[in-house]
Structure 1
Amino acid sequence: MPPPPARKEIVLALRDPSVVPIAQPKGRKRKFTKGGDGESSQQGDSSIASGLRGKFMSLIDGMISECGSETSRLVGELLELQGRWFETEAMLTAVKDSHSVKVSKLEVAIGELERELRKTASSLLKEKKAKKAKSSEVRRLQRQIEGDAGLASRGIREAKDALCFEFQARLAKISAFLGSLECIRNRDLALATIEGGMAVVPSFQSETPPTLEAEEARLSSCKGDLAVVDGDFDLILADLKSACFLPTCSEGQRENIRCSEKAEVMRLQAWMKRRRLNPSEHRYDINPCILVKPSNAISRRP
């Protein structure tokens, strides 16, 4: 709102009535006469002029009073407008102050929101990086697990193949030992039968034949020896059958088992060689072939 105009004073400048010329009407000419008539005419004119001057002065005074009242009214309105202006200016100042306070509060809130937004963005970036790292780690672990599973399955297949091959080799050895022991048993039984018959012949050729009791005692002793031989063979056969079970063992134990098996094979070969060289000394003696149980059991051969 523009400021109120400055108060101005209205001053009416009036001329002195003595100086104001009296306008004489046109078309009217008065003749001045000398003597008494001339003086009376002058007095009439002066009375008319004074009457006109009084009217003019009263008119001017009325105009001045009207202007003064109008001026006072305008001054009152101006003061009222000035008061309203001051009130409006105070209200505007208060509104401006409240707006500045609100703006400052909003700026503070905006600053806090910006900080929170930056923190949230940084936390989101960190979580995204962590998630990406975890996903890469999970993929790496999956690849490693798949690779380990492949290696383990390949190792299991190789170990199974090796165990099958070793088991077949051991079964072949066991079958060979069983065959050799069966041959030895049959030969020992045949030799025992022949030698027993040959031992009976001299007894009948002698001058004093053996009595029935002595013959029964000899036959019972031979029967006992044969029973002992059959029992030893059954024990050897049971040991060979139990050798089909292959318990799990380590590599060092496998080496020890191989060494012990080689030693047992050498012992069996030496015993068979001695028996071939001196069959009469080992008539009923069958050395049990003690075999060490192999390493890993896959199946059992009856």
Structure 2
Amino acid sequence: MSSSQSDKRGSDAEMDASTQPSGSSTTPILVDGKEKATESMSSPPDRKEIVLILCAPSATPVVKPKDRKRRCTRGNDGESSLMISECSSEVSRLVRDLTEMQGKLSESEFMLKAIEDSHSTKVSKLEVQIGELERDLGKTASSFLKEKKARKTKSSKVRRLQRRIESGEGSTNRGVEEAKDALRVELQTRLAKISNFLGSLECIRSMDLALATVNGGMAVVQALQGETPSSVQIEEATLSACKGDLGAVDGSFDLILADLKSECFLPTCSEDPEGQDPVVRENRGGAAPSLDEAMGEGEV
């Protein structure tokens, strides 16, 4: 009967061992046949050794360490069967835990792979975007350099044009000033000539007054001809001489008048009236009075 119980316990241990996956950390190790024979021959006959070995979850063969050996010795079959059932329940629990851990590990690996795939996809997209941004940056930089060169060229052209305009304005201003100075000098010269001619006209006027006085004297002489004939003849000779002189003066008067009219004719100036002489600005807006009118006003 003891041999049948031992066989039953051995079959239970083998079933537990068969249900345990390979490489498990809680795989029970059965004792070899020699140890069974020794156990059956020894006293008490119901003694059996059950060894639980914890090993790493790998495919390496399990080596039974002698220092971690647990010896379970009971005095009867009930206690040994209870111990075996407890061990089998513990083994089944550990198997379930291991299965759950393997499932979680597989899920974690799947999630990690999905995350890696998504990360690789994002990295590829980012690399494409970075390449596009680099191309856009290169285009922008080239266009910026071209625009900068164009602006430099335009600014240099503007500066050259400004220098030309300034030089042209300076030459124009110099020409205008020179023309104004020449006109001013010519006007002053002509005014001097006109003043000389006016002096000559004053002399002629005084001569005219003297001639009128002579004519009056001749009238008086003619009235007194009956009284002193010799003196009348002398006065007539004197008056005739004065008339000759006055005739010569009249000829010179015509020449002076013609010269005065020619000098009074001034050339028109199309420049800005700011540089004109004050005399020209006063006569601007109305016709200059003729020499005859001026003479008439002087006589009045």
TM-score range, shorter chain: 0.3 to 0.5
TM norm structure 1? 0.47
TM-score, reference length from structure 2 = 0.48
Q: Taking CA–CA contacts closer than 8 Å with sequence separation of 6 or more, which of the two structures ends up with the larger relative contact order?
A: 1
